[in-house]
């Protein structure tokens, strides 16, 4: 592609924007072009500390980034409650959208964002980085292998981390007016995504939150669990929390095979990542050991997963910009399904742990 | 101990009795002494093929084993529905009892067995082998470490195996008159045990079976899931099944640490077994890798876990026989709690997935 790199504007100086700024720099088809913050000093400091080129634009407002005609795409790591306002505004200004998860406070809001993107013909993608790691593709090959893996039967997913006192008091993810979905919107997003991914995006027919949800004094979820059931009998459970040691486990079991890993969201190492598969597992004659045993697979990557995310997003934006392609619907469809299940878990909790049917 | 080895009689020639016969031979304080089957030919064949000494007694009935005054202890691998009859009969004949899991069809039946054992002063222990692996003790040290592991928050446990056509048609574990608890009594027993073990035997306050139970045409459970909730907010889920690839995963998450393993019931290798721990896990500065990372621990054992089970059981029997000790209550207490939770899961399913409170 002889086309120019996609020029990114970043709205706000959230912590996660540092990682994504580095990813934009690392990605061969994108460049850091602008950053906007409510404080121009903060934006300047951010640009200075995060590898923005000398020529980068530094703005004292989000609007100014959207008004810059040279900005191709924006990365929005703002609190979830602000997504609808700024994502819609960005789409209306024809900016392609890389939006941090959760996409919105609910699927209704997300649909408004989606509508704005569709009417402007811009690409939207969520910031779920692990989807773009080559390990994820390798694992998918295994899950799609009807001989080795067979038919999916169950998924157990767990993403927890032990937030410190400062996080539990001050982070946007514990504030009802900023990230009202709390741990469900943050760690739960990834659990739900891993389950949907394993189920090949097949939506469950129903969702049941499990008793034991922990709320903070403002009513924001700090930990919760849920169970999902599909028409064809597949089942899944997940547990997400801000209150337990960092854990990212998924176990996916099919009729013939098993897939598991312990670092599905952020690999233990930046440049290589492992997963375990087991195929038609069984025992030695007296059932005293396994035969065959599971095996470990390691996948290396030159670029970290977040740079691969930016590369894929920029590729799609470039196709639209330079080749007149249409936006890729696969990514917003996946975001929407994830959001739909988060909504159902939340509704189940609010209804006193009733079963919630999924209507897509 | 200068005392003689404990003399075992085995009731029936179940497949699992082959593994336990070998374990009795391997164990330094026990010996194969008798086997009884409804067919004396079957018993003779079993004794010949499973390392019984020339002097061993071979009987054409279970009663005859119980009537042999030289038998110290019996191993009962009969179908669960027969446990109450034969376990009570054995206890009344003052035989110590190594009983296959599940202990009974319900806790009421188990209590009758327990009563018979208590009034005869005999030891009872269930056949849950992994409890006796030195790995289990090592893992327990980790879970008890308030600094490294902290307070337990959640457990996810999964034990499935892919039964073949013959099993699904003919095995005792799919027959309502033999092992009416099906996959719940078999694979579910281990899931529940792993959860109770992780919870330091603290009983949950309530149990909820999750929709999606698979039954065979005779109404026996082939797959099910459940969720457990404790007074202090701990949560656990498990999935057990005869219909998916052999998987034995447990993830135990505390406030400071995580424990996980993939072969908790039967280690991949007979003489060495691993587990993974993570302590105060976190990320590198830009959240692009883990720091510190989890670590793997390997525990070797000279005797396989089933021989260690027999050794521990025989040690307790020897203490009673030669030193006038009282039966050790720790083991039946653990069996009873496991059975109590199985009962609650079954009740929850039967009540249409209502929450069942645990009353101990």
| Per-residue pLDDT tens digits for B271-298 | 999 999 999 999 999 999 999 999 999 9
Calculate the CA A274 to chain-centre distance.
20
Q: Is B203 exposed, middle or buried (0-12, 13-18, 19+ CB in 10 A)?
A: middle
| Per-residue pLDDT tens digits for B231-249 | 999 999 999 999 999 999 9
Q: Is A350 exposed, middle or buried (0-12, 13-18, 19+ CB in 10 A)?
A: exposed
Whole-angstrom distance, CA of residue A55 vs CA of residue B312: 75
Chain A: give the shortest CA distance to residue B289, in Å: 5
Tokens of A316: 């799609």
Chain B contact for A208 (CB, 8 A cutoff)? yes
pLDDT at B231: 97
Residue B315 has pLDDT above 60, yes or no: yes
Chain B contact for A282 (CB, 8 A cutoff)? yes
Quick check: B286 and A19 CB within 8 A? yes
Whole-angstrom distance, CA of residue A20 vs CA of residue A77: 9
Query: Residue ranges per domain, chain A?
Result: 6-129+322-328, 131-305+339-357
Nearest CA in chain B to A257: B245
- The one-character DSSP state at A294 is P
Tokens of B37: 């089957």
Whole-angstrom distance, CA of residue B183 vs CA of residue B213: 10
| Per-residue pLDDT tens digits for B163-205 | 999 999 999 999 999 999 999 999 999 999 999 999 999 999 9
Q: Which residues of A are catalytic?
A: 101
In A230-289, beta strands by DSSP E: 235-241, 243-254, 257-261, 272-279
Tell which residue, B254, B272, A147, B255, has the closest CA to residue B263: B272
Chain A contact for B19 (CB, 8 A cutoff)? yes
State which fold the B6-129 domain adopts: Rossmann fold (3.40.50)
State which fold the B131-305+339-357 domain adopts: Dihydrodipicolinate Reductase; domain 2 (3.30.360)
Instruction: Give CA separation, B329 vs A260, A306, B118, B196, B316, in Å.
Output: 38, 55, 10, 16, 11
Q: List the 126-185 stretch of B: residues with Cβ below 8 A of A.
A: 150, 153-154, 156, 158, 160-162
pLDDT at A360: 78
Q: Which residues of B are catalytic?
A: 101
Tell which residue, A87, A41, A84, has the closest CA to residue A66: A87
Whole-angstrom distance, CA of residue B66 vs CA of residue B74: 8
Whole-angstrom distance, CA of residue B57 vs CA of residue B34: 4
Share of chain A above pLDDT 70, in %: 99
Chain A contact for B205 (CB, 8 A cutoff)? no
pLDDT at B153: 98
Average pLDDT over chain A reads: 97
Whole-angstrom distance, CA of residue A60 vs CA of residue A39: 5
pLDDT at A3: 81
Q: Which residue among A150, A161, A235 places its CB closest to the CB of B210?
A: A235
Chain B: give the shortest CA distance to residue A324, in Å: 35
In chain A, beta strands by DSSP E: 6-11, 30-36, 57-59, 73-76, 96-99, 124-126, 152-162, 206-215, 221-229, 235-241, 243-254, 257-261, 272-279, 295-300, 355-357
DSSP string for residues in B66-109: HH-TT--EEEE-S-GGGHHHHHHHHHHTT-EEEEPSS-SSSHHH
pLDDT at A179: 95
Chain A: give the shortest CA distance to residue B120, in Å: 34
Quick check: B156 and A286 CB within 8 A? no
Mutate to test the interface with A, among B210, B282, B288 (most CBs of A within 10 A): B288
Q: Which residue among A156, A245, A286 places its CB closest to the CB of B256?
A: A245
pLDDT at B3: 81
- Binned at pLDDT 50, 70 and 90, residue B2 comes out as low
| Per-residue pLDDT tens digits for B330-342 | 999 999 999 999 9
Chain B contact for A244 (CB, 8 A cutoff)? yes
Quick check: A225 and B258 CB within 8 A? no
pLDDT at A246: 98
Chain A: give the shortest CA distance to residue B244, in Å: 4
pLDDT at B360: 78
Q: Which residue among B19, B258, B262 places its CB closest to the CB of A287?
A: B19
Average pLDDT over chain B reads: 97
Centre a 10 Å sphere on the Cβ of residue B28 and count the other Cβ atoms it contains.
13
Chain B contact for A297 (CB, 8 A cutoff)? no
Task: Say if the ipTM goes beyond 0.90.
Answer: yes
Tokens of A225: 């669990």
- Identical fold at A6-129+322-328 and A131-305+339-357? no
Instruction: Give CA separation, A79 vs A191, B16, B62, in Å.
Output: 20, 57, 70
Tell whether omega for the bond before A58 is within 30 degrees of 0, i.e. cis: no
pLDDT at A55: 96
Kindly report the backbone phi and psi dihedral angles of residue A359, in degrees, each rounded to the nearest multiple of 5, phi listed first.
Answer: -115, 115
Chain B contact for A322 (CB, 8 A cutoff)? no
Name the CATH code of domain A6-129+322-328 (choices 3.50.50.60, 3.30.390.50, 3.30.70.3190, 3.40.50.720). 3.40.50.720
Whole-angstrom distance, CA of residue A301 vs CA of residue A266: 13
Tokens of B231: 């007074």
Quick check: A254 and B245 CB within 8 A? yes
Quick check: B162 and A233 CB within 8 A? no
Q: Determine the 3-state secondary structure of A355 from DSSP.
A: strand
Whole-angstrom distance, CA of residue A196 vs CA of residue A341: 9
- Binned at pLDDT 50, 70 and 90, residue A51 comes out as very high
Mutate to test the interface with A, among B23, B150, B154 (most CBs of A within 10 A): B154
Quick check: A288 and B304 CB within 8 A? yes
Residues of A with Cβ-Cβ distance to B161 under 8 angstroms: 281
Chain B: give the shortest CA distance to residue A221, in Å: 14
Residue A184 has pLDDT above 90, yes or no: yes
Q: Where are the alpha helices (DSSP H) in A260-357?
A: 305-323, 330-350
Kindly report the backbone phi and psi dihedral angles of residue A72, in degrees, each rounded to the nearest multiple of 5, phi listed first.
Answer: -85, -40
How large is the average pLDDT for residues B113-135?
A: 98
Chain A: give the shortest CA distance to residue B17, in Å: 10
- Binned at pLDDT 50, 70 and 90, residue A2 comes out as low
Length of chain B: 360
How large is the average pLDDT for residues B204-214?
A: 98
Q: Determine the 3-state secondary structure of B162 from DSSP.
A: strand
Q: How many CB pairs under 8 A join A and B?
A: 206
Report which of residues A64 and A360 the model is more confident about: A64
Residue A294 has pLDDT above 70, yes or no: yes
Quick check: A229 and B243 CB within 8 A? no
Residue A1 has pLDDT above 60, yes or no: no
Quick check: A251 and B249 CB within 8 A? yes
H or E, element range at A119: helix A107-120
Tokens of B184: 């719940």
| Per-residue pLDDT tens digits for B30-72 | 999 999 999 999 999 999 999 999 999 999 999 999 999 999 9
| Per-residue pLDDT tens digits for A238-255 | 999 999 999 999 999 999
Q: Which residue among A239, A269, A289 places its CB closest to the CB of B154?
A: A239
């Amino acid at each position: 592609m002889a086309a120019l790199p996609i020029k990114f504007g970043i709205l706000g100086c959230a912590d996660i924007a540092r990682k994504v700024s580095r990813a934009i720099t690392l990605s061969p088809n994108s460049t850091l072009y602008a950053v906007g913050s409510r404080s121009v000093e903060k934006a300047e400091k951010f640009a200075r500390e995060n590898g923005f080129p000398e020529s980068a634009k530094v703005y004292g407002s989000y609007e100014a980034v959207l008004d810059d005609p040279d900005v191709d795409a924006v990365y929005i790591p703002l609190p979830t409650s602000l997504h609808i306002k700024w994502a819609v505004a960005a789409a209306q200004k024809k900016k392609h959208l890389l939006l941090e998860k959760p996409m919105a406070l609910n699927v209704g809001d997300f649909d408004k964002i989606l509508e704005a993107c569709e009417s402007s013909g811009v690409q939207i993608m969520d910031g779920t980085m692990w989807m773009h790691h080559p390990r994820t593709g390798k694992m998918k090959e295994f899950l799609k292998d009807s001989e080795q893996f067979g038919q999916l039967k169950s998924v157990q997913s767990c993403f927890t981390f032990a937030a410190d006192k400062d996080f539990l008091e001050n982070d946007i993810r514990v504030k009802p007016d900023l990230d009202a979905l709390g741990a469900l919107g943050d760690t739960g997003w990834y659990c739900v995504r891993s389950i949907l991914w394993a189920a090949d995006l097949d939506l469950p027919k129903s969702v049941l939150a499990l008793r034991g949800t922990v709320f903070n004094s403002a009513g924001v979820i700090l930990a919760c669990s849920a169970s999902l059931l599909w028409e064809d009998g597949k089942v899944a459970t997940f547990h997400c929390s801000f209150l337990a040691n960092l854990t990212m486990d998924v176990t996916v079991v099919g009729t013939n095979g098993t897939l598991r890993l312990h670092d599905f969201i952020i690999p233990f190492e930046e440049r290589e990542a492992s997963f375990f598969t087991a195929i038609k597992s069984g025992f030695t004659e007296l059932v005293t050991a396994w035969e065959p045993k599971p095996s470990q697979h390691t996948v290396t990557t030159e670029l970290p997963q977040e740079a691969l995310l930016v590369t894929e997003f920029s590729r799609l934006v470039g196709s639209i910009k330079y080749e007149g392609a249409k936006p890729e619907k696969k990514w917003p469809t996946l975001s929407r399904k994830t959001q739909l299940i988060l909504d159902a878990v939340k509704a189940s909790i609010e209804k006193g742990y009733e079963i919630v049917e999924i209507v897509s």
